[in-house]
Amino acid sequence: MVSLRAEKIPEFAKLRVLIVDDNDYILNLIKMVLTDLGVADSFFAKDAIEAMKVLEGSAAVNFVICDWNMPGITGLEFLRKLRADGNKIPFVMLTARADEGSVVQAKEIGVDAYLVKPFSPIQLEKKLRVLVGDMPEAALPAKK
């Protein structure tokens, strides 16, 4: 893959991101953008159940980027479960829902960032920069 960036973003080299989407194209697109930004590790899940298994496993994840509309458990229901369990992991909702009601609903449940499809790599980068800036250093894993 040819990088679009002259340099990776040093703060992103520490990140481990879980991407949850039932669409392979979106999964690969986000993986490509994250790799280009210098993200250390990306994990993939095709639905919320698979995502819960990743989070329960040994992988320490710093962020979740999750589609809203998925079969079975929606991204919103997944976020609701995480927050009900006390999990404060930064959560980026990725969706085609651009209406104010959906944004408000996601915010009320505890979404940290909202990204509307189609999105640009720069939009994703900006969301992650804000979230990384808000994270305490102790929440970031040590570099490998």
Residue 101, Cα to own-chain centre: how many angstroms? 21
Amino acid 21 reads D
Q: What is the pLDDT of residues 37-79, one digit of tens each?
A: 999 899 999 999 999 999 998 668 999 999 999 999 999 999 9
Pairing mode of beta strands 63-67, 113-116: unpaired
CATH 2.30.40.10 given to domain 13-73: no
Amino acid 94 reads L
DSSP state letter for 58: T
Residue 114, strand partner residues: 93
Q: Say whether 84 sits in a helix, a strand or coil.
A: helix
Which pTM value belongs to this model? 0.87
Q: What is the pLDDT of residues 19-44, one digit of tens each?
A: 999 999 999 999 999 999 999 899 99
Residue 104, Cα to own-chain centre: how many angstroms? 19
| DSSP string computed for 30-45 | HHHHHHHHT-SEEEEE
